[in-house]
Amino acid sequence: MVKKFIFKLLGIILCACFVITVKNVDFKNIFSIGENIPITISNLDKINSEKLFGSFVDSKLTEDIWTTGGVKEKKTSLVIKLFGFIPIKKTTVVVCDDKNVYLGGIPLGFSVTTKGVIVVGTNSVVSNSDEKQNDVLQTGDILTKVNGIDIFNVSDIKQQLDECNGEELDITFIRDEKEMNAKMKPILDSQTNEYKLGIWIRNDAQGIGTLTFVTEDNEFGALGHAITDFETGVEVPVNDGKIYPCTTLGITKGTKGKAGELRCLFVQGSASKGDIDKNTNCGVFGEITDSENIIDTNLSCPVASRLVVKVGKAKIISSVSGVREEYEIEIIKTYNQNNSSDKSFIFRVKDKRLLDITGGIVQGMSGSPIVQDGKLIGAVTHVFLYDPTKGYGVYSDWMLDEVS
């Protein structure tokens, strides 16, 4: 009887320990950590001091020798241990120094020309009294080459059509982010006696967004998501572009089921503030050429690793009131990601002042910096259409990767 009682008691104790451990260790978060995540020593200190992975978890860095193809190289790993001695996760990391950036929070105008032309629609061409349509290109395709010649605008295509004598063209285009090649027969328009492809195209894009940060080398990140064509939704491949100062004319507040917006004006061709050279799924990037009214040297902070972003209080920096101000938000869900995404975490606006001004997150606020515990952790990217007080953010280290 005594032995049975002891075994039963041990079973109860083990079950209790298991339940306590599971409730106090974020196993899901730990096991979803990817490879080669950037981390600083201050990030590691924060992980351990604030027990971000759980009450019974410690993390430390180790150096290992890896042999690949007979070549030895040293790699640093993050080792996560339960109770200080049971290893439960080991992943390679990139140890780096804390990098300070100047915070943005001001609206900008973006104007870009594309690498290639975007097919925004198709149309019929009247040829010999019959209507003919192209059977190759679709709305949303990006036409990049004709007969091996780079295409940037309408005149580039027209030149190739004028020289083709009706012969088949070798075309290169991008569809669903994949480069494709095809043969395409031009159609002779009987009304104009010119060869045509039967497509409507555009080779530029404009929009409003918010500056996220500027590095000490005058490189900037903004918007937090890609510039997309407003008709087709495709990500615009940038040939070149400019950023411009904006004047805010007014704000349409967001309501349930209807996104609000910053109503802003910028003038293309006026003095630009910088050059755009990259458009990615986590933002727009380039170089600041005129920092006046762009950089506030009093607003700077380090960039945090995505490993230390946590559920809890944070702040948005925005100029919706006319000046750069901080507004209270709450991070309500975070995601561990192995690949860059413009939906890294979810937050809710808590600040009554911001809710009174905008109703929450509105179009044009994309790129607004998000700061937690004195460090830049990300930027606003999307609003929840059914609830404008909630939005998505992108991790700042995804954005910083694009400028380093």
Q: Which one is catalytic: 366, 382, 396, 397? A: 366
pLDDT in tens, 237-249: 888 899 999 988 9
DSSP code, position 339: S
pLDDT in tens, 105-151: 999 999 998 888 999 888 887 777 566 777 888 989 999 999 999 98
The whole-number pLDDT of residue 146 equals 92
Please give the residue that has the higher pLDDT: either 227 or 134: 227
Beta pairing partners, 276: 241, 286
Count helices and strands in the chain by DSSP H and E runs: 6, 28
Asked if residue 15 has pLDDT above 70, the reply is no
How far is residue 38's CA from residue 400's CA, in Å, rounded to a whole number? Answer: 10
Instruction: Count other C-beta atoms under 10 Å from residue 72's C-beta.
Output: 8
E strand or H helix at 161: helix 154-163
Longest dimension (CA), the chain: 103
Instruction: Count other C-beta atoms under 10 Å from residue 273's C-beta.
Output: 22
Q: Would you call 32 a catalytic residue per the annotation?
A: no
Asked if residue 264 has pLDDT above 80, the reply is yes
| pLDDT confidence band for 282 (50 / 70 / 90) | very high
Q: Would you call 351 a catalytic residue per the annotation?
A: yes
| SS3 track for the chain | CHHHHHHHHHHHHHHHHHHHHHHHECHHHHHCCCCCEEECHHHHHHHHHCCCCECCEEEEEEEEEEEECCEEEEEEEEEEEECCCEEEEEEEEEECCCCEEEECCCEEEEEEEEEEEEEEEECCEEECCEEECCCCCCCCCEEEEECCEECCCHHHHHHHHHHCCCCCEEEEEEECCEEEEEEECCEEECCCCEEECCEEEEEEEEEEEEEEEEECCCEEEECCCCCECCCCCCECCEEEEEEEECEEEEEECCECCECCEEEEECCCCCCCCEEEEEEECCEEEEEECCCCCCCCCCCEEEECCHHHCCCEEEEEEECCCCCCEEEEEEEEEECCCCCCCCCCEEEEECCHHHHHHHCCCCECCCCCEEEECCEEEEEEEEEECCEEEEEEEEEHHHHHHCCC
pLDDT in tens, 286-343: 999 999 989 988 899 999 999 999 999 999 999 999 999 999 999 999 998 888 899 9
How far is residue 103's CA from residue 296's CA, in Å, rounded to a whole number? Answer: 8
The whole-number pLDDT of residue 210 equals 97
**Structure tokens, 173:** 């285009």
Q: Give the pTM.
A: 0.86
Q: Which one is catalytic: 111, 141, 225, 397? A: 225
**Structure tokens, 176:** 């669903």
How far is residue 221's CA from residue 297's CA, in Å, rounded to a whole number? Answer: 16
Q: Would you call 275 a catalytic residue per the annotation?
A: no
| pLDDT confidence band for 381 (50 / 70 / 90) | very high
Please give the residue that has the higher pLDDT: either 56 or 309: 309
CB-based contact 272:292 (threshold 8 Å):
no
Q: Which one is catalytic: 344, 351, 368, 382? A: 351
Beta pairing partners, 128: none
How far is residue 263's CA from residue 109's CA, in Å, rounded to a whole number? Answer: 11
Please give the residue that has the higher pLDDT: either 164 or 332: 332
